[in-house]
Structure 1
């Protein structure tokens, strides 16, 4: 039976390899051979809140969490794959070295002199690899295959050695070093066999798996098209897969173990040290289960805590949920309404008045006048209900250009929409503005400010201008400083 191959972070032009995105949380139990490349630049490239610290990227809270979680997942999955006898080949691409948020902050000073220092940690993409090894950044192409590994890697190296380049060097030369620098004083490749199973982890130099001539240059090409890859890409993939299969066969021929028969595991043959270790293993597994449950609880709490940020980028039902949460933060009583006949995005009220809202998110456009017509119809439908005695104040919530950073967006509502809203006494709320004031209310507990925000909504006509936050008025420091755990110790 043909072996199943998965590639994580490497897209190969072959139907015989299942591609898995680095951001995916797939289990590797379904595959026999895993090809892995710890390329994490997307976490850096698309982090619009990223800063810089000590000359390295310093990721935002969200991307810090996402990167650490992804690396933890693959370190665990790859380690388990080797443990149960699979072959894992990891290509050591250029390591991404960043600072990630720890979630800890240190506050010093008071009033205008108050400073908040965010605590960060060093992190690198190799944390996703399930073996600890010392490495230093250093690039080169002159690589030598050690004689004792000719049987395993000679064929692969003849074909792909000329295409390979190392991005890091490993100063410790030991029995696991299969590839070295030209003079043999630094390792650039390792083969680490598992102590019990037939599994093995290979750390090999990197290659360019996506040169331009591997992709079709025809216009209107999509990722779903069968001809996305060129003939060169398919030839390369076929040869590479053949060599990966050959490596797997060679490793197994040299490390075949007899599966332990059931009777050999009976208590009559159990060594005392094994019994003690089994008990320790059980305790460790219980602790791991508790830690995993704690992790899942924290993840759920994190998702709930960050729901408000949907005001910045969401549309549809998620945007409606974020708006309802924001309205409640400001002190409104707010709910969706759906009686089977009428459905309204938000019906909300406070001592200042009763309102009815319509929400709209646009990817690359401003909010148009058509949503005002929908809002007017909803207000009339609402008034027809027996329990409603007068028309609700209309509010249109708009999240225009939602995929663009808020600071770079154009006007959220069209000129026609603003003019019509004023003539109908409708309030227009740009949801990123709503996010800013709600964030302040959450963090300060300022109920008086929340009241002012409610009044701005209830009495607003046209684009609502929320009051400035007291923090900004007082001229207090708003920028955080950054410090690593290492610098504070």
Structure 2
């Protein structure tokens, strides 16, 4: 039966190898042979930099660390279960990640927040401290260990290989070194209690210039050279996998050998410590899940930027509450309003509308006027509510790139009807600021803007708040002004 082969971080022009993206949660235990390249490039979507390196925000930092930890855990489990995992050592990609720690100083408009960051790299995916150092070159040679088992692979692919990192000279199983200086660039690290091994190899040119060609109908497609390379590569690596397994004969422990009569004293002590460690891991996992739920809840206001329908209405209600309103959706047997909200200064009624690629038009304004009249007919209402139309026009476009989110006709009609038009992206900006600190004066200005404003109404600009970014060595980094 042919081997099930998985690649992560690179793709081959062959149907005999499946590919998973770096953000996949696939289990490596389902595969016979794993080829892994620690490439986090797609996760470095950051326009912020610190000390010359990308610096990720809290959400992106969490996601990157979660992905790396997934692969680190999966690679270790695969090797421990007797599989060979081949890691092609790409260049180190370093990035600053948010530690979640904050330091605050000052109050009000002079409040400064210090964001603590830590240096992180793609090598966090490898379950071993390789202490890699970035460099590059092509002149390499097999060590004595490498000549024994790696020679067939090296004969085929030495010309396609180049080293992008130097490894720590103390790691076991060094099989490849630089031609001059004998610096480690490859190793075969065998598991102690299984037939598995971690095979560290220099990077390979998986996307040579003659491997892809443009097709007017299909776009980029593999060339015959790419397909030929993939056949040779998979065949050679499969043979190397077979050779590694044939030179390692670890007999699986029989059940009787695990009986208490054969357990050593030190082993028993360590087993108890392992049980305690597993208990702490379970507690940490439960705490992580609870915090993830809390994070998801805290991030609800972001729906103001991209949602429509009921999710947008819910986010508006929560955003208005944050600004000091009493707010709720209203529904009885005869009437249904997106949001009714009030404060000491007055009572308002709102409608919400999200548009994928258009501005909000006058139709929803008519609906709002009808709702205000219907609301006034209720016995407990003594005066018309102030109307507010919340619009999320061009909701699938980043807010900074959106055109005016209400049509000209809608703006003109709102002015004549003494109605406020508020973009939910503007509301989000206010909610984002107020969620980070208490500022009754600013919240009052936001309420007043909706109570008094007519036509197109923008939320007041939040006071500037300094965010200082520092690494864990407490050196001062970039200062960012954020609204």
**TM-score, with structure 1 as normaliser:** 0.86
SS at match of 1:18: strand
**2:295 is the counterpart of 1:302:** yes
Q: CA RMSD in A?
A: 3.0
| More off after superposition, 261-270 vs 448-457 | 448-457
**2:474 is the counterpart of 1:480:** no
Deviation, structure 1 residue 315: 4.7
Corresponding residue for residue 191 of structure 2: 194
Say whether the 8 Å CA contact 2:330–2:340 is kept in structure 1.
no
- Gaps in structure 2 of 5+ consecutive residues: 477-483
Corresponding residue for residue 38 of structure 2: 38
Q: Output aligned runs, 1:71-470, within 5 Å.
A: 71-108=68-105, 115-172=112-169, 175-219=172-216, 221=218, 228-315=221-308, 317-336=310-329, 346-351=338-343, 352-362=346-356, 365-369=357-361, 372-377=362-367, 380=370, 387=378, 393-402=386-395, 404-469=397-462
Say whether the 8 Å CA contact 2:387–2:419 is kept in structure 1.
yes
Q: Distance between the aligned counterparts of 1:192 and 1:212, measured in 2?
A: 33
| More off after superposition, 397-406 vs 384-393 | 384-393
Deviation, structure 1 residue 212: 4.9
SS at match of 2:257: helix
Deviation, structure 1 residue 252: 0.6
Distance change >3 Å, CA 437–CA 285, structure 1 → 2: same
SS at match of 2:150: helix
| More off after superposition, 52-61 vs 86-95 | 52-61
Q: Distance between the aligned counterparts of 2:325 and 2:109, measured in 1?
A: 32
**2:42 is the counterpart of 1:55:** no
Deviation, structure 1 residue 434: 0.9
Corresponding residue for residue 14 of structure 1: 14
Say whether the 8 Å CA contact 1:173–1:186 is kept in structure 2.
no
Encode CA deviations 1:35-71: one digit per residue, 9 max, x unaligned: 2111112222x224x2x22222222222222211211
Say whether the 8 Å CA contact 1:64–1:100 is kept in structure 2.
yes
- Gaps in structure 1 of 5+ consecutive residues: 473-477
Q: Distance between the aligned counterparts of 1:488 and 1:357, measured in 2?
A: 49
Say whether the 8 Å CA contact 1:173–1:187 is kept in structure 2.
no
Say whether the 8 Å CA contact 2:423–2:458 is kept in structure 1.
no
Q: Distance between the aligned counterparts of 2:133 and 2:333, measured in 1?
A: 64
Q: Distance between the aligned counterparts of 1:2 and 1:417, measured in 2?
A: 65
Q: Distance between the aligned counterparts of 1:163 and 1:340, measured in 2?
A: 73
Q: Would you tell me which structure has more strand in proportion to its own residues?
A: 2
Distance change >3 Å, CA 367–CA 111, structure 1 → 2: closer
Deviation, structure 1 residue 188: 0.8
Say whether the 8 Å CA contact 1:379–1:391 is kept in structure 2.
no
Q: Distance between the aligned counterparts of 1:416 and 1:219, measured in 2?
A: 44
Say whether the 8 Å CA contact 2:173–2:187 is kept in structure 1.
yes
SS at match of 2:195: coil
Say whether the 8 Å CA contact 1:170–1:186 is kept in structure 2.
yes
Distance change >3 Å, CA 332–CA 232, structure 1 → 2: farther
